Structure 1
């Protein structure tokens, strides 16, 4: 997951940094540092964040030649 994907994923589910923090158990500062590029992100922490966003309906699209992205799952 890239920082841009995380920002886009939060926007798709209309979550603030605080919302993601509460749902993932990851401190707000850690999320902000990753999203702004101040930190590359610990793999275990990124997994927690991605799982929380996926539980909310976000699908992460891997790099496929057109760029990595996110979308909402169909209901």
Structure 2
């Protein structure tokens, strides 16, 4: 969606790239503070998290103000 590599997200979120890989493969479960850091990094990069509204939760790119 963003074209962001794992290493960049890890740097922006302040976690190790190996930690993200472990989350992706299910080897480890993230702590709430780690999830918050990852979410904040994605939101800063332009991702918008959409709450469940009958169709399920989701994500989209934030629309830039014109």
- With a CA cutoff of 8 Å and minimum separation of 6, indicate the structure with the bigger relative contact order: 1
Whether 2:31 is the aligned partner of 1:42: answer yes
Correspondence for 2:49: 60
Which segments of 5 or more consecutive residues in structure 1 lack a partner in the other structure?
A: 1-11
TM-score, normalising length: structure 1: 0.76
Q: CA deviation at 1:62?
A: 2.2
Which segments of 5 or more consecutive residues in structure 2 lack a partner in the other structure?
A: none
* Ranges of 4+ aligned residues in structure 1 off by more than 3 Å: none
Which is greater in Rg? 2
Q: CA deviation at 1:19?
A: 0.9
Q: For this pair of structures, how many residues does the alignment match?
A: 64
Q: CA deviation at 1:32?
A: 1.1
TM-score, normalising length: structure 2: 0.84
Which structure's residues are more often helix, by fraction? 1
> SS in structure 2 opposite 1:70?
strand
RMSD: 1.2
